Structure 1
Amino acid sequence: MESIIKFKVMIVLSLCLVVRLTQAKDIQYCDKKAEYGVEVKGVEISPDPVARGKTATFSITANTDKAISGGKLVIDVSYFGWHIHSETHDLCDETSCPVSIGDFVVAHSQILPGFTPPGSYSLKMKMLDGNKGELTCITFDFDIGFASSVADI
């Protein structure tokens, strides 16, 4: 009986560790002194590291103290400190609008080209409301793996 309890405890602890590892990203606010209306709780990237030529999904869990009827996501990507890519998305294409007070998730999926260089990247995301007011601004790093999608063709 005691060994069954120990086994169950080990499984629960292992699952907690796996969940923690898949969601562990060092998120920084762009302005540490700002009081953003949207608080980012975490970022999950799947797969991690991102695979070239395959779909990558970035899911950002957040909380808002005010309802959000719409807006934009402005994304800037840097590679070894060099700005290499920008894109803007309608917020309502990435989450359900209107966003109610409380917790919500912004999820974006895209395929990175097979020729994307492997390595460590930085992503900066600004969330703007319908009047272009900044709701939040975060940065975090992510990796693109060394595996090539050319072998998959």
Structure 2
Amino acid sequence: MENIQKVDTSVGTFMAGKVEFYEDGSVKCAEPQEPVFVSHETGLYIAYDNTPLKDEEHLPTIEFGPDGKVTALRTLGTGLICRGKDGASLLIGAQWRPDPRDTGANVLMPIRICFFENELLVTNSDGEEIHLPFDQYEIQVDYLTDNIVMGGGCGDCSTCNGCRIQGE
């Protein structure tokens, strides 16, 4: 069973598992048990990954710098609408993809957003990195809250009996 604990961070107090700390005791990274809202100059983000893959990918859902600021997050519930100064538009959000565990099912793959001083670096559901410099893109946050519910749903995968009703 995962060790769940209450952690105090710059974005509030929440229950989390797999918490890592800096030497001074501040939180380095954590796996929130519920959505955590992160405010950034580009919008309000939802840090949350309730997919079965989160345990296998070994990437934290929320990461903090030594100063306590959020440096990166994984999300199912936040998408980005990016309008380039050149007129191009990008829509980035968690997408359904074939399960990398070869179960034959499709799974919702979260996106990862890294926050830098002058840009966002987004890793999309296909693992592609997209640089979004603030001087080249207007970024608008979009909420994909249905993904949070659907991401935790059971696909009745042949490799997992975790969601089956006892006795079936």
TM-score tier after normalising by the smaller chain length: under 0.3
TM-score, normalised via structure 1 length: 0.26
Q: Would you tell me which structure has more helix in proportion to its own residues?
A: 1
**Greater Cα radius of gyration, structure 1 or 2:** 1
Structure with bigger RCO (C-alpha 8 Å, 6+ apart): 1
